[in-house]
């Protein structure tokens, strides 16, 4: 029996240690290989430089803050800068910073040159990556037109930003005109922007680039998270859109017409990158022009906003996507009735546990039957120490006689895991929890914080209360629901008690910096499981 306890402890630590790996398998981050291709007659062939990706250098220079222009609608404020003609700051009016209470900013780094709308033009792929030029800005009543000269003054470039009221999306129109008396050939990259800066420590793992292929039958979104500095990751197929996203918000660029663009992700180091659309070679005769239109989305990762634009694949919960979206839909339905997401999480957790209660009951009753025959199992082991084959045969006869399945306690629990994992991921990434209040919690999408009059070692001047409440609930659960075997030796009983204390502490470390909505779900689930198990302990075996 002592060996079984040690094995149980080892397996518990193994599960905790490999939990991130398990999630990685369920929600893989696909990192595509590089390669430059173009489509001709339904096939793919290499461009002039087979197997070569554009070597884009990092442009130097920073923004001049006094060259800003602000474009607003009902949803957000965009600050455009003359240097590069880019969007250097985004503030949402419908969301607030949980610390400052000011409009939430997802972009405000003035040191990043390749911000949304940055246009890189060169006569060859190897020439991409030059410093940003300075644009002239014209205000056109709700639209902003920016103009600049490129390619040694031979090419006039114009960008027109236009956003509707009450919408997170708009149009970015790019026009090229050959002002020289000779033909021009060039490539260009239009940037969705750099990786969005994390607002909380938990945001880092969710920052990624997305590339969605335009090829028929290839509707699998490509995720790129970590790219080494100087390394370029490029799509092998033409793309429908590209995005830079974090846990809750995204900036997306999508060609309006069926143009041939590749998705490009450039590594900047320190888990940072930028994302762009790379054109094919453009050829313009003297005086000729080309105009391309792009849909630009700057907003929350919310299906209701993305679905009409054909961008809904961006919201994805991995292989459990359907379950996760169904649970989020249930959460929104409860919120429409009770008007509070904290209360809705509690009710949804209760309904899920109620639905899965038959499985919980079956698993616990199987464990209880195993507890009853434990003394007989100990005798079988003792009498057949030197004959493992006979011991296994008598064990199977014992299980059959008492109608006990040795795996009966585990199998029902495993059936519940997809639901709990899907809800875990959905609550971690769902934008509907941003700025949602519950009791003392100001934002269910981030850790709850209670400020202290003094600064504590390792914690500072604030603590996260909800994870501490969760740890206390888990300690109580372990104490009142621990199964004690008849004839159990004192040493093994001591080990079980140690394990019962260690597990809540380990979970406390894991959940301490998690979103408070997720902690609330786990706390509610812990309390409900404790009540269920206390009830089932009183049930008589039949």
Cα separation of 40 and 540, whole Å? 73
Cα separation of 212 and 258, whole Å? 14
Cα separation of 68 and 60, whole Å? 19
Distances (CA, A) of 433 to 203, 206, 231, 399, 534: 14, 16, 35, 48, 32
| Count of alpha carbons within 13 angstroms of residue 185, beta-carbon side | 4
Query: Comparing C-alpha atoms, which of 496, 502, 498 is closest to residue 482?
Result: 496
- 261, exposed or middle or buried, with CB in 10 Å at 0-12, 13-18, 19+? buried
* Residue boundaries of the structural domains of the chain: 22-36+65-316, 324-537
Cα separation of 104 and 76, whole Å? 9
Tell me the three state secondary structure of residue 228: coil
Tokens of 408: 């009966």
Q: DSSP string spanning 69-125?
A: EEEE-SSEEEEEETBTTEEEEEEEEEEE-TTT-SEEEEE--TT-SS-TT-EEEESSG
Q: What pLDDT score does 21 carry?
A: 43
The helix (run of H) or strand (run of E) holding residue 468 is helix 465-481
- 143, exposed or middle or buried, with CB in 10 Å at 0-12, 13-18, 19+? middle
Write b or e for each residue in 500-524: b if 16 or more Cβ atoms lie within 10 A of its Cβ, otherwise e: beebbeebbeebbebbbbbbbbbbb
Cβ proximity of 77 and 84 under 8 Å: no
Query: Comparing C-alpha atoms, which of 309, 305, 325 is closest to residue 317?
Result: 325
Cβ proximity of 256 and 218 under 8 Å: no
Tokens 């003392």 correspond to: 440
E strand intervals along 445-507: 450-456, 460-463
Q: What topology is assigned to 22-36+65-316 in CATH?
A: Beta-galactosidase; Chain A, domain 5 (2.70.98)
Residue 85 zone, left/alpha/beta (φ > 0; ψ -120 to 50; rest)? left
Query: Comparing C-alpha atoms, which of 206, 189, 205, 202 is closest to residue 245?
Result: 206
Cα separation of 107 and 90, whole Å? 5
Cα separation of 233 and 216, whole Å? 22
Distances (CA, A) of 286 to 127, 177, 186: 22, 9, 14
Cβ proximity of 30 and 223 under 8 Å: yes
The helix (run of H) or strand (run of E) holding residue 503 is helix 490-511
Full-model pTM: 0.77
- Each residue's pLDDT, cut to its tens digit, for the chain (542 residues) gives 334 433 444 444 444 444 444 444 444 443 333 322 232 222 322 233 334 455 444 444 444 445 778 888 889 989 888 888 888 889 999 898 877 888 888 887 655 567 898 888 887 776 676 666 778 877 777 778 888 887 888 889 889 998 888 899 999 999 999 998 899 888 888 998 888 888 877 778 888 888 888 775 556 777 787 777 778 877 888 888 999 898 899 999 999 887 788 888 888 877 788 889 998 888 999 989 999 999 999 999 998 899 999 888 888 887 888 888 899 999 999 999 999 999 999 999 999 888 888 877 777 777 777 777 777 777 777 777 777 777 777 777 777 777 776 665 566 667 678 888 888 888 888 899 988 899 888 889 888 887 777 777 766 677 888 888 888 888 887 776 665 555 455 665 676 667 767 788 888 888 888 888 989 998 998 888 888 777 777 766 55
Tell me the three state secondary structure of residue 445: coil
Query: Comparing C-alpha atoms, which of 368, 367, 369 is closest to residue 413?
Result: 367
CA torsion 213→218→223→229, rounded to 10°? -60
The number of residues making up the chain comes to 542
């Amino acid at each position: 029996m002592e060996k079984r306890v040690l094995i149980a402890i080892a397996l518990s630590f193994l599960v905790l240690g490999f939990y991130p790996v398990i999630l990685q398998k369920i929600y893989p981050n696909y990192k595509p290989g590089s390669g430059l291709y173009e489509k001709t007659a339904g096939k793919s062939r290499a461009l002039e430089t087979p197997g070569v990706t554009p070597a884009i250098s990092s442009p130097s220079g920073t923004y001049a803050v006094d060259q800003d222009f602000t474009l607003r609608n009902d949803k957000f404020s965009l600050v455009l800068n003359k240097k590069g003609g880019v969007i250097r700051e985004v503030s949402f009016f419908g969301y607030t910073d949980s610390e400052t209470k000011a409009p939430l900013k997802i972009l405000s780094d003035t040191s990043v040159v390749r911000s949304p709308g940055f246009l890189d033009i060169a006569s060859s792929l190897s020439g991409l990556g030059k410093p940003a030029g300075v644009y002239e800005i014209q205000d056109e009543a709700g639209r902003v037109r920016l103009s600049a000269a490129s390619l040694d003054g031979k090419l006039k470039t114009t960008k027109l930003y236009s956003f509707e009221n009450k919408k997170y999306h708009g149009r970015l129109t790019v026009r090229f005109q050959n002002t020289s008396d000779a033909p021009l050939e060039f490539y260009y990259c239009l940037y969705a922007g750099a990786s969005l800066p994390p607002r909380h420590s938990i945001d880092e793992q969710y920052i990624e680039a997305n590339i969605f292929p335009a090829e028929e039958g290839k509707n699998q979104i490509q995720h790129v998270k970590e790219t080494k500095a100087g390394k370029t990751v490029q799509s092998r197929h033409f793309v429908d859109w590209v995005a830079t996203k974090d846990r809750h918000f995204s900036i997306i660029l999508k060609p309006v017409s069926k143009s041939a663009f590749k998705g490009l992700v450039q590594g900047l180091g320190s888990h940072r990158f930028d994302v762009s659309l790379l054109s094919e070679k453009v050829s313009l005769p003297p005086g000729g022009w080309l105009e391309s239109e792009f849909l630009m989305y700057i907003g929350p990762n919310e299906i209701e906003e993305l679905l009409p634009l054909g961008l809904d694949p961006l919201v994805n919960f991995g292989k459990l996507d359907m379950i996760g979206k169904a649970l989020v839909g249930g959460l929104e339905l409860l919120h429409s009735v009770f008007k509070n997401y904290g209360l809705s999480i509690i009710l949804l957790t209760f309904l899920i546990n109620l639905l899965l209660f038959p499985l919980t009951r079956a698993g616990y009753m199987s464990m209880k039957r195993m507890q009853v025959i434990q003394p007989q199992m100990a005798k079988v082991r003792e009498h057949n120490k030197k004959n493992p084959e006979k011991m296994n045969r008598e064990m199977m006869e014992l299980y059959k006689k008492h109608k006990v399945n040795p795996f009966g306690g585990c199998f029902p629990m495993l059936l519940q895991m997809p639901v709990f994992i899907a809800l875990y991921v959905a609550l971690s990434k769902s934008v509907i929890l941003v700025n949602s209040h519950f009791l003392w919690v100001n934002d269910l999408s981030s850790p709850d914080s209670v400020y202290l009059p003094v600064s504590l070692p390792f914690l500072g001047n604030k603590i996260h209360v909800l994870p501490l409440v969760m740890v206390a609930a888990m300690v109580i659960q372990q104490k009142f629901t621990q199964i004690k075997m008849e004839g159990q030796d004192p040493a093994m009983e001591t080990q079980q008690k140690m394990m019962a204390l260690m597990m809540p502490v380990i979970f406390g470390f894991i959940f301490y910096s998690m979103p408070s909505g997720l902690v609330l779900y786990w706390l509610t689930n812990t309390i409900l499981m404790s009540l269920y198990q206390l009830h089932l302990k009183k049930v008589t075996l039949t």
